[in-house]
Amino acid sequence: MSDQEKQFPATDEEWSAHLPPEAYRVMRQNGTERPFSSEINSLNHAGSFSCRGCGAVLFEGQSKFDSGCGWPSFDRPVHQEAMSERLDRSHGMVRIEVRCATCDSHLGHLFPDGPTETGNRYCINGICLLAI
């Protein structure tokens, strides 16, 4: 089954039943988890990380690094089409929001201050990810 054929919740009520409450708040209501609250932040994982909402693979373990910001950080998605980007002017800031391209769940933000050759830091709410 391709990513486009995967089934995931369609309504807010279905999403609320599908996700744990905190994941629903972050992923479907554009929330943010507390810094340093996710086990994934300190997880050294050689596999991949997928979207908790739909299962789409988003990041490979080798792209993860410790940015010290309190959220899991990655320097690149598994492929550019894995995420969509939107301008986010909330909270008096101008940032680039990243969302799962498959299920449109909020994941976090992209900053141009990464330490690797990409120069990118995908700052992702750990509750949005599953280590696979």
Positions marked catalytic: 123
Query: Is the Cβ–Cβ distance between 100 and 58 less than 8 Å?
Result: yes
Query: Concatenated DSSP letters for 13-45?
Result: HHHHHHS-HHHHHHHHH---PPTT--GGGG---
86's tokens? 């939107």
Beta-strand pair 121-124/106-111: antiparallel
97: which 2 tokens?
């929001």
Instruction: Please report where in the chains the tokens 């969509």 appear, as a residue.
Output: 84
Residue 98 · residue 104 · CB < 8 Å: no
